[in-house]
Amino acid sequence: MNRGFFVAIDGPSGIGKSTVTAALAGQLAGQGLPVLATKEPTASPLGSLTRFGTDDYQGLALACLVAADRYQHLETEIRPALASGTVVVCDRYVASSLVLQRLDGVPPKFLWALAEQADRPDLTVILTGDPIRSRERAARRGLYNRFHRGGPEAGAAEAEAYRAVAAELQAAGHAVVVHDIGTQTAEEVAAVLAASVLSRREGNWTTAPS
């Protein structure tokens, strides 16, 4: 059996990652592929601690909690799905940690070390767009952690950090696509990404041992 395909969807708060993740998973499933849509932080007790505990945990401590949730996620959900040939679409992954924990004062070298044993996605998608609109959307959704707070300046800083991390990931050999959503709907964005996933997946399967 061929290994599955791992897609990570990252980008600033309020950019539409969750909506695009669901749309992409739906479109790939419509092509007859087995698909798992998942997210980080996870819904596990550890994930809930990192998601809702950002006022209690900061810096190195929070970065370690996020990494622990990720490795548990990999062990219990992502790796088994990939081993069964499933396409995994994950809302937030390593890129988000490299951005948010860096903005939280954690040295990049430490964050890269924390991510060293994390599975490399077959494709990392960084969504970009108007930071003001993203912040407004995040506010309407609910400011459940401190990374979603702050005005346009905070949104611009986060957007710039994602652009920098995208370049770092590419320099480290990761397959990265930076997609400016502009005025596209989630379904339109997902259609572009689905075409990329299907093309890359076919290439991976062609070269992978049976």
Q: For residue 124, what is the domain's CATH number? A: 3.40.50.300
Looking at the structure of the chain, the number of domains it has is 1
For residue 208, being part of any structural domain is answered with no
Token couple for 35: 């698909």
Expressed as residue numbers, the domain containing 44 is 5-203
> What pLDDT, on a 0 to 100 scale, did the predictor assign at position 55?
84
| Backbone φ and ψ of 177, nearest 5° | -120, 125
| Backbone φ and ψ of 164, nearest 5° | -65, -45
> What pLDDT, on a 0 to 100 scale, did the predictor assign at position 130?
84
For residue 171, being part of any structural domain is answered with yes
> What pLDDT, on a 0 to 100 scale, did the predictor assign at position 207?
36
d(CA 199, CA 141): 34
For residue 92, being part of any structural domain is answered with yes
Answer for the pair 31, 198: CB distance below 8 angstroms, yes or no: yes
Amino acid letter, 170: Q
For residue 162, being part of any structural domain is answered with yes
> What pLDDT, on a 0 to 100 scale, did the predictor assign at position 203?
73
> What pLDDT, on a 0 to 100 scale, did the predictor assign at position 210?
26
For residue 123, being part of any structural domain is answered with yes
> What pLDDT, on a 0 to 100 scale, did the predictor assign at position 209?
31
For residue 161, being part of any structural domain is answered with yes
Amino acid letter, 82: L
For residue 210, being part of any structural domain is answered with no
HEC-encoded secondary structure of the chain: CCCCEEEEEECCCCCCHHHHHHHHHHHHHHCCCCEEEEECCCCCHHHHHHHHCCCCCCHHHHHHHHHHHHHHHHHHHHHHHHHCCCEEEEECCHHHHHHHHHHCCCCHHHHHHHCCCCCCCCEEEEEECCHHHHHHHHHHHCCCCHHHCCCHHHHHHHHHHHHHHHHHHHHCCCCEEEEECCCCCHHHHHHHHHHHHHHHHHHHHHHCCC
For residue 209, being part of any structural domain is answered with no
| CA distance between the termini of the chain | 6
Token couple for 108: 């990049």
pLDDT, one tens digit for every residue, the chain (210 residues): 578 999 999 999 889 999 999 999 999 999 999 999 999 999 999 999 998 888 889 999 999 999 999 999 999 999 999 999 999 999 999 999 999 999 999 999 999 999 999 999 999 999 998 877 777 776 676 555 656 666 667 778 889 999 999 999 999 999 999 999 998 999 999 999 999 999 998 875 433 332
The pTM assigned to this predicted structure is: 0.90
**What dihedral angle (degrees, nearest 10) is formed by the CA atoms of 141, 147, 150, 155?**
-90
